[in-house]
Protein backbone atom coordinates (compact mmCIF):
# COMPACT_ATOMS: atom_id res chain seq x y z
CA UNK A 1 0.00 0.00 0.00
CA UNK A 2 2.93 2.31 0.67
CA UNK A 3 3.89 2.25 -3.02
CA UNK A 4 0.40 3.32 -4.13
CA UNK A 5 0.49 6.18 -1.61
CA UNK A 6 3.82 7.41 -3.00
CA UNK A 7 2.48 7.27 -6.57
CA UNK A 8 -0.62 9.22 -5.50
CA UNK A 9 1.48 11.78 -3.66
CA UNK A 10 3.85 12.31 -6.59
CA UNK A 11 0.82 13.01 -8.79
CA UNK A 12 -1.09 15.21 -6.34
CA UNK A 13 1.69 16.78 -4.21
CA UNK A 14 5.09 16.21 -5.85
CA UNK A 15 7.19 17.67 -3.05
CA UNK A 16 5.59 15.45 -0.41
CA UNK A 17 5.67 12.43 -2.74
CA UNK A 18 9.34 12.91 -3.58
CA UNK A 19 10.26 13.31 0.08
CA UNK A 20 8.35 10.12 0.93
CA UNK A 21 10.08 8.30 -1.92
CA UNK A 22 13.52 9.25 -0.61
CA UNK A 23 12.77 7.56 2.74
CA UNK A 24 11.05 4.58 1.09
CA UNK A 25 12.63 1.14 1.72
CA UNK A 26 13.89 0.66 -1.84
CA UNK A 27 13.62 3.98 -3.67
CA UNK A 28 15.96 3.00 -6.51
CA UNK A 29 13.81 -0.04 -7.36
CA UNK A 30 10.69 2.12 -7.23
CA UNK A 31 12.30 4.63 -9.57
CA UNK A 32 13.55 1.95 -11.97
CA UNK A 33 10.13 0.25 -12.09
CA UNK A 34 8.53 3.64 -12.71
CA UNK A 35 10.82 4.12 -15.72
CA UNK A 36 10.12 0.59 -17.02
CA UNK A 37 6.34 0.95 -16.68
CA UNK A 38 6.24 4.54 -17.95
CA UNK A 39 8.22 3.77 -21.08
CA UNK A 40 6.05 0.70 -21.68
CA UNK A 41 2.94 2.89 -21.38
CA UNK A 42 4.49 5.29 -23.90
CA UNK A 43 5.04 2.39 -26.34
CA UNK A 44 1.48 1.15 -25.83
CA UNK A 45 0.13 4.65 -26.48
CA UNK A 46 2.02 4.79 -29.78
CA UNK A 47 0.56 1.41 -30.74
CA UNK A 48 -2.94 2.57 -29.82
CA UNK A 49 -2.72 5.78 -31.83
CA UNK A 50 -1.11 4.30 -34.95
CA UNK A 51 -2.19 1.41 -37.17
CA UNK A 52 0.61 -1.13 -37.07
CA UNK A 53 0.77 -4.68 -38.38
CA UNK A 54 1.15 -7.51 -35.86
CA UNK A 55 4.83 -7.89 -36.80
CA UNK A 56 5.45 -4.19 -36.10
CA UNK A 57 3.59 -4.45 -32.79
CA UNK A 58 5.72 -7.42 -31.74
CA UNK A 59 8.88 -5.59 -32.76
CA UNK A 60 7.90 -2.40 -30.91
CA UNK A 61 7.00 -4.25 -27.72
CA UNK A 62 10.12 -6.42 -27.68
CA UNK A 63 13.31 -5.22 -29.35
CA UNK A 64 12.12 -1.64 -29.82
CA UNK A 65 11.01 -1.33 -26.21
CA UNK A 66 14.22 -2.79 -24.75
CA UNK A 67 16.35 -0.60 -27.05
CA UNK A 68 14.40 2.45 -25.88
CA UNK A 69 14.76 1.39 -22.25
CA UNK A 70 18.52 0.84 -22.62
CA UNK A 71 18.99 4.20 -24.38
CA UNK A 72 16.93 5.98 -21.74
CA UNK A 73 18.93 4.45 -18.87
CA UNK A 74 22.16 5.73 -20.42
CA UNK A 75 20.55 9.15 -20.98
CA UNK A 76 19.22 9.09 -17.39
CA UNK A 77 22.71 8.45 -15.96
CA UNK A 78 24.39 11.10 -18.12
CA UNK A 79 21.78 13.80 -17.55
CA UNK A 80 21.55 13.36 -13.78
CA UNK A 81 25.35 13.45 -13.55
CA UNK A 82 25.42 16.60 -15.64
CA UNK A 83 22.67 18.27 -13.59
CA UNK A 84 24.48 17.29 -10.38
CA UNK A 85 27.70 18.84 -11.70
CA UNK A 86 25.94 22.09 -12.69
CA UNK A 87 24.01 22.28 -9.40
CA UNK A 88 27.31 22.01 -7.50
CA UNK A 89 28.25 25.42 -8.95
CA UNK A 90 25.62 26.92 -6.63
CA UNK A 91 27.64 25.74 -3.60
CA UNK A 92 24.81 23.53 -2.36
CA UNK A 93 24.87 20.05 -0.95
CA UNK A 94 22.90 17.40 -2.79
CA UNK A 95 22.98 13.70 -3.52
CA UNK A 96 23.46 12.43 -7.07
CA UNK A 97 21.79 9.17 -6.01
CA UNK A 98 18.69 11.03 -4.79
CA UNK A 99 18.54 13.09 -7.98
CA UNK A 100 18.80 9.89 -10.03
CA UNK A 101 15.90 8.39 -8.05
CA UNK A 102 13.67 11.45 -8.39
CA UNK A 103 14.38 11.90 -12.10
CA UNK A 104 13.30 8.31 -12.69
CA UNK A 105 10.14 8.86 -10.67
CA UNK A 106 9.43 12.04 -12.63
CA UNK A 107 8.41 9.91 -15.64
CA UNK A 108 5.31 8.78 -13.74
CA UNK A 109 2.91 11.00 -15.79
CA UNK A 110 3.62 8.85 -18.86
CA UNK A 111 1.26 6.23 -17.38
CA UNK A 112 -1.61 8.46 -18.53
CA UNK A 113 -0.59 8.33 -22.21
CA UNK A 114 -2.51 5.15 -23.11
CA UNK A 115 -5.71 6.70 -21.73
CA UNK A 116 -5.05 9.78 -23.86
CA UNK A 117 -4.47 7.58 -26.91
CA UNK A 118 -7.72 5.67 -26.27
CA UNK A 119 -9.64 8.95 -25.88
CA UNK A 120 -8.13 10.35 -29.05
CA UNK A 121 -8.78 7.14 -30.98
CA UNK A 122 -12.37 7.01 -29.73
CA UNK A 123 -13.07 10.49 -31.04
CA UNK A 124 -12.33 9.32 -34.58
CA UNK A 125 -10.33 10.58 -37.52
CA UNK A 126 -8.47 13.83 -37.17
CA UNK A 127 -8.31 13.63 -33.39
CA UNK A 128 -4.54 13.12 -33.23
CA UNK A 129 -4.46 16.75 -32.13
CA UNK A 130 -6.02 15.73 -28.81
CA UNK A 131 -3.37 13.05 -28.32
CA UNK A 132 -0.59 15.52 -29.16
CA UNK A 133 -2.07 18.04 -26.72
CA UNK A 134 -2.23 15.41 -23.95
CA UNK A 135 1.34 14.36 -24.79
CA UNK A 136 2.50 17.99 -24.57
CA UNK A 137 0.79 18.44 -21.19
CA UNK A 138 2.48 15.26 -19.90
CA UNK A 139 5.91 16.42 -21.15
CA UNK A 140 5.44 19.79 -19.40
CA UNK A 141 4.37 17.91 -16.25
CA UNK A 142 7.54 15.78 -16.41
CA UNK A 143 9.70 18.89 -16.88
CA UNK A 144 7.98 20.47 -13.86
CA UNK A 145 8.68 17.35 -11.77
CA UNK A 146 12.34 17.33 -12.82
CA UNK A 147 12.82 20.99 -11.90
CA UNK A 148 11.03 20.26 -8.62
CA UNK A 149 13.53 17.41 -8.07
CA UNK A 150 16.42 19.83 -8.46
CA UNK A 151 14.79 22.23 -6.00
CA UNK A 152 14.29 19.49 -3.41
CA UNK A 153 17.69 17.81 -3.68
CA UNK A 154 19.85 20.94 -3.91
CA UNK A 155 17.63 23.36 -1.94
CA UNK A 156 17.55 25.78 -4.87
CA UNK A 157 15.10 28.55 -5.59
CA UNK A 158 12.88 28.06 -8.63
CA UNK A 159 14.91 30.37 -10.89
CA UNK A 160 18.19 28.67 -10.04
CA UNK A 161 16.66 25.21 -10.48
CA UNK A 162 15.36 26.21 -13.92
CA UNK A 163 18.78 27.59 -14.88
CA UNK A 164 20.47 24.34 -13.77
CA UNK A 165 17.95 22.44 -15.87
CA UNK A 166 18.28 24.44 -19.09
CA UNK A 167 22.07 25.03 -19.12
CA UNK A 168 22.88 21.59 -20.65
CA UNK A 169 20.29 22.05 -23.40
CA UNK A 170 21.41 25.60 -24.23
CA UNK A 171 25.06 24.49 -24.22
CA UNK A 172 24.26 21.58 -26.52
CA UNK A 173 22.36 23.90 -28.88
CA UNK A 174 25.28 26.34 -29.06
CA UNK A 175 27.76 23.52 -29.61
CA UNK A 176 25.65 22.25 -32.50
CA UNK A 177 25.37 25.75 -34.00
CA UNK A 178 29.13 26.32 -33.65
CA UNK A 179 29.83 22.91 -35.20
CA UNK A 180 27.49 23.66 -38.09
CA UNK A 181 29.07 27.07 -38.69
CA UNK A 182 32.57 25.53 -38.58
CA UNK A 183 31.46 22.81 -41.01
CA UNK A 184 30.06 25.41 -43.43
CA UNK A 185 33.22 27.56 -43.19
CA UNK A 186 35.52 24.58 -43.77
CA UNK A 187 33.37 23.38 -46.67
CA UNK A 188 33.48 26.83 -48.29
CA UNK A 189 37.27 27.03 -47.79
CA UNK A 190 37.77 23.58 -49.34
CA UNK A 191 35.50 24.37 -52.29
CA UNK A 192 37.16 27.72 -53.02
CA UNK A 193 40.63 26.17 -52.64
CA UNK A 194 39.82 23.51 -55.25
CA UNK A 195 38.47 26.06 -57.74
- Encode the chain in three state secondary structure: CHHHHHHHHHHHCHHHHHHHHHCCCCHHHHHHHHHHHHHHHHHHHHHHHCCCCHHHHHHHHHHHHHHHHHHHHHHHHHHHHHHHHHHHHHCCCCCHHHHHHHHHHCCHHHHHHHHHHHHHHHCCCCCHHHHHHHHHHHHHHHHHHHHHHHHHHHCCCHHHHHHHHHHHHHHHHHHHHHHHHHHHHHHHHHHHHHC
**Residue 105: predicted pLDDT:** 92
Contact between 135 and 117 (Cβ < 8 Å):
no
* Half-sphere CA count of 161, side-chain side, radius 13 A: 18
Neighbours of 149 (CB within 10 A): 26
Q: Any idea which of 45-54, 73-82, 126-135, 141-150 has the lowest mean pLDDT?
A: 45-54
Average pLDDT of 180-194? 85
Output phi, psi for 177, to 5 deg: -65, -45
> What is the CB-side half-sphere exposure of residue 180 using CA atoms within 13 A?
6
Q: What does the pLDDT read at residue 1? A: 46
pLDDT digits (tens, 9 = 90+) for 38-79: 999 988 888 877 766 666 666 667 777 888 889 999 999 999
Per-residue pLDDT tens for 98-110? 889 999 999 999 9
Residue ranges covered by each domain of the chain: 2-194
CB 64 within 8 A of CB 43: yes
Kindly give, in sequence order, each residue whose CB lies less than 8 Å from that of residue 57, ignoring residues fewer than 6 positions away.
Answer: 47
Would you state the pLDDT for residue 136? 94
Amino acid sequence: METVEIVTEIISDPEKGFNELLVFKKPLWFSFLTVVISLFCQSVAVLLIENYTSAQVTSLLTFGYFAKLFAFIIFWIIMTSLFHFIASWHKTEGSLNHLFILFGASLLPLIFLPAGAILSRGLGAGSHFIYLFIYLVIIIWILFLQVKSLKIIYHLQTGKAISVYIIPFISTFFLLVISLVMFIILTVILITKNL
